[in-house]
A = this chain, B = another copy of it.
Amino acid sequence: MNLNEIGARAKKAQVFLAKMNCTQKNELLIKCADDLVKNAAGLIKANDIDMENGRKNNMSQGLLDRLCLTEERISGMAEGLKQLAALPDPVGEVTGMVKRPNGLMIGKKRVPMGVIGIIYEARPNVTADAFGLCFKTSNAVILKGGSDAINSTKAIVDCIRRSLEEASLPVDAVQLITDTNRETTKEFMRLTEYVDLLIPRGGAGLIRTVVENSTIPVIETGTGNCHIFVDESADLDMAADIIINAKTQRVGVCNACESLVVHEKIADKLLPALSAKLREKNVELRADDKAFGYTKDAVHASEEDWGKEYLDYILSIKTVSSVDEAIEHINKYNTGHSEAIVTKDYFNAQKFLEEVDAAAVYANASTRFTDGFEFGLGAEIGISTQKLHARGPMGLEALTTTKYIIYGDGQIRS
Say yes or no: A389 contacts B392, CB within 8 Å.
no
Chain A interface size, as a band, is: 35 or more
Q: Is A411 an interface residue (CB 8 A)?
A: yes
**Most chain B beta-carbon neighbours within 10 Å: one of A238, A246, A405, A409:** A405
Q: Is A333 an interface residue (CB 8 A)?
A: no
Q: Is A241 an interface residue (CB 8 A)?
A: yes
Say yes or no: A406 contacts B362, CB within 8 Å.
yes
Say yes or no: A217 contacts B217, CB within 8 Å.
yes
Chain B residues contacting A386 (CB-CB under 8 Å) are: 196, 217
Chain B residues contacting A104 (CB-CB under 8 Å) are: 365, 369
Chain B residues contacting A366 (CB-CB under 8 Å) are: 411-413
Chain B residues contacting A403 (CB-CB under 8 Å) are: 357-361, 391-392
**Most chain B beta-carbon neighbours within 10 Å: one of A98, A413, A414:** A413
Q: What copy number does this chain have within its complex?
A: 2
**A263 CB to nearest chain B CB (Å):** 18
Say yes or no: B360 contacts A406, CB within 8 Å.
yes
Q: Is A205 an interface residue (CB 8 A)?
A: no
Say yes or no: B369 contacts A413, CB within 8 Å.
yes
Chain B residues contacting A405 (CB-CB under 8 Å) are: 353, 360-361
Chain B residues contacting A171 (CB-CB under 8 Å) are: none
Q: A197-B388, A365-B104, A388-B389 are in contact. Are A360 and B404 (CB under 8 A)?
A: yes
What are 7 A-B contacts with C-beta separation under 8 Å? A19-B355, A100-B374, A353-B405, A362-B406, A362-B408, A365-B411, A392-B403
11 other contacts beyond A100-B374, A111-B357, A364-B410, with CB at 8 A cut-off? A15-B331, A197-B387, A197-B388, A249-B412, A249-B414, A361-B405, A369-B413, A370-B404, A387-B401, A391-B401, A392-B404
